[in-house]
Amino acid sequence: MRTLVTGGAGFIGSHVVDALLAAGHEVTVVDNLATGSPANVRDGVELVEVDVCDREMITAVFRRIKPTAVFHLAAQTLVARSSSDPLRDAQINVIGTLIVARAAIAAGAGKLVFASSGGTVYGNPRQQPVPETHVLDPISPYGVSKVAGEHYIRVLCGHAGIASTILRYGNVYGPRDIPASQHVITAFLHALLNGQRPVIEWDGEQAKDYVYVGDVAAAHVCALTAGDGEAFNVASGREISVNEIFRLVCREMEVTVDPLRRERREADVRRFVLDCTKADRMLGWTPVTGFADGLRKTVRYYRNLANLRRVDALTLH
């Protein structure tokens, strides 16, 4: 199947690309490289450097590729940035999504899979674990933009007669993430590998649902042929506190350090865990990577990356 992945040079997107390739599909990557990197894209995969907000260029690329399926992962993902600049957040996450959806429809795509955020579209959970039927009640502009994107995908694809599936991620972690994402595990590792004290916001007892990026990528492959017209939580179904993550990261890194403490992050929720039984039932997807195993793989990746950078620095000198 000919597929196209927006944001395919980024953290999650590049893993989706790898999973699609492993399943035997053709892949084209569209990415503006604002946070993604060409190094994340395998040799032989076409990388088109273009912004999803560039309507003419996106339309032309989709018309040329004529993808059978489109995976839309390109987004502005920082909650804090969405609050400081909600207009820019909406331009990327709402207008950009509209542009991608219309381009996919015009190019004759048969399926569009949209990356949403379970951690933000539900707002403060009224029940735990949170099912897909929970009211969408975001408490940040980022969450609002993702809810809007979901509705536009559903309505536009429905009117055009093409299939769509929405995947609502838990807190995704794993290799290829970058410190700018402000994801807690990546932030902890970046600090420790650079001899700094990691920062814990709030009291660290906030607990979330963390899911390994390889498992998230597998859900996208499942969504190619299942889940039409539906939204699915894609997470671990378990919660773990920030303090416990910090303890496990330090143990894996074999270090002892006291974290710095900061105030609560704006729009952070106290706890959430997602109900993923619908994905199991309708997509045939369930996470297979336990947190300890996923963390081990993640630490190994960042340690190797840090060692390579040290070697490169020594070579340059």
Q: What is the CATH number of domain 2-178+210-239+269-290?
A: 3.40.50.720
In the chain, how long is the greatest CA-to-CA distance? 60
Q: How many CA atoms lie within 13 A of 64 on its CB side?
A: 10
Q: Is 142 an annotated catalytic residue?
A: yes
Per the CB < 8 A criterion, the answer to whether 109 and 160 are in contact is: no
> What confidence tier does 228 reach under pLDDT thresholds 50, 70, 90?
very high
Predicted local distance difference test score (pLDDT) of residue 309: 77
Backbone phi and psi for residue 314, each to the nearest 5 degrees, phi listed first: -65, -40
Predicted local distance difference test score (pLDDT) of residue 316: 56
Residue at token pair 């590729």: 65
Per-chain mean pLDDT for the chain: 96
Other Cβ atoms closer than 10 A to 230: 18
> What confidence tier does 307 reach under pLDDT thresholds 50, 70, 90?
confident
* DSSP letter, residue 76: -
Catalytic residue (one of 142, 152, 212, 302): 142
What is the spatial distance between Cα 247 and Cα 259, in angstroms, rounded to a whole number?
10
What is the spatial distance between Cα 62 and Cα 59, in angstroms, rounded to a whole number?
5
Per the CB < 8 A criterion, the answer to whether 240 and 210 are in contact is: yes
pTM of the model: 0.96
pLDDT tens column, 3-14: 999 999 999 999
> What confidence tier does 315 reach under pLDDT thresholds 50, 70, 90?
low
Give the pair of three-digit tokens for residue 179.
């410190």
Exposed/middle/buried for 18, CB within 10 Å: 0-12, 13-18, 19+? buried
Give the pair of three-digit tokens for residue 5.
């992945």
pLDDT tens column, 97-150: 999 999 999 999 999 999 999 999 999 999 999 999 999 999 999 999 999 999
Is the per-residue pLDDT at 302 higher than 70? Answer: yes
